[in-house]
Structure 1
Amino acid sequence: MAETTTITDTDWPPPLPDASGFVAPPVPGVGGALARLARALAADPGGGRRVAARGLWLLAVAALCVPLHMACRRLGLPSPWARRFLGWSARACGIRVRSIGQPVARDVFYIANHLSWTDALILGGQTGTVFVAQDGIAIWPGLAFICHLNDTIFVNRSDRMGVPAQIAAMRTQFTRHSRIAMFPEATCSDGRRLLPFKAPLFAMLIPPPPGATLQPVVIDCDEAGRNLAWVGMETGAANAWRLLSRPGTWEARVHFLEPFSPADTPDRKALSARARAAIAAKLSETLGGRPVA
């Protein structure tokens, strides 16, 4: 019988893997990527079959949704296909998504905690929002293409001089789409804690666009989902393999919390703190009352 590890309150939260000094490796070329894939298939044939099946499912979803989405764009029509692509892709990845609470339908900034690249599938499939994402994602050709289809706003959080231009881009996209989501931890955690929020991009809400609402969101996964979080020195490709090769499914619950007007908190640091406090309280509740720093 396999041993199980019990996490006690004195061990809570368990430490994250040490990622100090980690530098992401360069994106491999086609030949390098295929060689790595071949090695992974040889090491785990069963996992490889699951990756292949889910990969084909994702390709089928893209083959249906992407042309229809692009056709809507060319005709100047609102497109439901980006949202459907994200939601169906989450299911293809083995994620069962459950929505709790009522998402604000428009003129809303969603502020959420962050576990993995799958958060975009989970939250986007429920809301149809566009996302604010780190510009490092744009180096992956396929992923960058999908992000551009959904009008993702890429930001460089180390470029302090570029913050005004990034805020202007967010305001422009908000005018077009009326729904933007941001993960202000600026990196992934494991769903058992909440990292400090990066306040500068909250400046996009000072002052807020007319009628804008801020809605805190908690992405709360079961234990399997928490163990699939993209943390430490794991590369995106390794995390994707680990997630897609896993047998069975796992559940992600999306809690839409009480919205409030950002105009009531006319300071970006105070606004960040208010949103974080709401998310921390709900996250603690989902963890059985365990403290969330």
Structure 2
Amino acid sequence: MADPVSSPTAETWPPPLPDASGFVAPPVPGLGGALGGFAGACARDPAGALRVIARSLWLLAIAAVCVPAHSLHRRLGIPSPWARRFLGWSARACGISVRSIGQPVSRNVFYIANHLSWTDALILGGQTGTVFVAQDGIAIWPGLAFICRLNDTIFVNRSDRMGVPAQIAAMRTQFMRHSRIAMFPEATCSDGRRLLPFKAPLFAMLIPPPPGATLQPVVIDCDEAGRNLAWVGMETGAANAWRLLSRPGTWEVRVHFLEPFSPADLPDRKALSARARTAIAAKLSETLGGRAVA
């Protein structure tokens, strides 16, 4: 299957994203449909299928170690390192080599990052142990929803304006429990060659901020192979997972932890959003060789 985003050229920067206007995600297939789709993909790409199977077995082995250990820690009421280990090891199983640059704030922090794919949770979670804010559409996928709930993911429905106070309360509760929350304020995936507008309402829980809270901008900086694996356009999650797991070799991600700042220093959520976006855009431009990032 061809990559949905072609490599950039000198003439066109950034290359256009695939047109996703009017796209409606297909329903989650039943077991029979999923097995049929998997069998068809295997027939079309036998070599890729072997890599998908090998990496899937690796992921299952990681889960077999981490999930029981994590559950035991939960029952005993003691902090568990196993969710972070699961995410970090899973990133490696998916063929991702992750390197941190800069110092992540370890407590009372909101990480604000750019967004390329579902793998961002593996990458950033494995480096920091953070919990995530995610769209509730993810919750319809049984396996993915199970993993998200293990890590206390906060699901939000951005179209439910009446439910915003309850969602903010849930975020504050999880912040008190974990002291680390990550948000992707583009609210959708891009390709690592640009930065989409930030959704300022996502910053509502920081007005006023919890006592002592810090906001730290983060740039997820993939190599060209990683940018071409971004989950964009009309590609389904299953198709993107197949492309990623069937790919030979590894690809590199550098996670840049930028200068943190106090959200208490800014007057409102729009100012918070603008300051975080400016910092991320500047670093992303730097990683792209100085190309402008709007």
TM bucket (normalised to shorter chain) is over 0.9
Q: State, as a whole percentage, how many aligned pairs show the same letter.
A: 88
Structure 2 residues without counterparts, runs of 5 or longer: 1-5
Say if 2:228 is the partner of 1:227.
yes
Measure, in 1, the Cα distance between the counterparts of 2:165 and 2:195: 27
Measure, in 1, the Cα distance between the counterparts of 2:100 and 2:22: 37
The number of residue pairs the alignment matches comes to 289
Aligned residue identity for 2:34: A
User: Where does residue 205 of structure 1 map in the other structure?
Assistant: 206
Partner of residue 7 from structure 1, selected from 6, 9, 34: 9
Aligned residue identity for 1:49: L
Measure, in 1, the Cα distance between the counterparts of 2:25 and 2:208: 36
**SS of alignment partner, residue 115 of structure 2:** coil
Give TM-score, length-normalised by structure 2.
0.97
Moved over 3 A (4+): none
Conserved 8 A contact 2:18-2:232 = yes
Q: Deviations over 1:209-238 (max 9, x none)?
A: 000000000000000000000000000000
User: Where does residue 270 of structure 1 map in the other structure?
Assistant: 271
Conserved 8 A contact 1:163-1:201 = no
What's the offset of the Cα at 1:159? 1.2
Measure, in 1, the Cα distance between the counterparts of 2:29 and 2:252: 32
Aligned residue identity for 2:258: L
Q: Deviations over 1:134-167 (max 9, x none)?
A: 0000000111011001000000111112111111
Give TM-score, length-normalised by structure 1.
0.98
Measure, in 1, the Cα distance between the counterparts of 2:113 and 2:275: 13
What's the offset of the Cα at 1:266? 2.1
**SS of alignment partner, residue 11 of structure 1:** coil
Aligned residue identity for 1:252: V
User: Where does residue 287 of structure 1 map in the other structure?
Assistant: 288
User: Where does residue 240 of structure 1 map in the other structure?
Assistant: 241
Q: Deviations over 1:81-126 (max 9, x none)?
A: 0000000000000000000000000000000000000000000000
User: Where does residue 160 of structure 1 map in the other structure?
Assistant: 161
Aligned residue identity for 2:109: V
Structure 1 residues without counterparts, runs of 5 or longer: none
**SS of alignment partner, residue 289 of structure 1:** coil
Conserved 8 A contact 2:8-2:15 = no
Aligned residue identity for 2:159: S
What's the offset of the Cα at 1:5? 6.3
User: Where does residue 19 of structure 1 map in the other structure?
Assistant: 20
Measure, in 2, the Cα distance between the counterparts of 1:167 and 1:273: 20
What is the aligned-residue RMSD (CA, Å)? 0.9
User: Where does residue 146 of structure 2 map in the other structure?
Assistant: 145
User: Where does residue 122 of structure 1 map in the other structure?
Assistant: 123
Measure, in 1, the Cα distance between the counterparts of 2:125 and 2:59: 16
What's the offset of the Cα at 1:6? 6.0
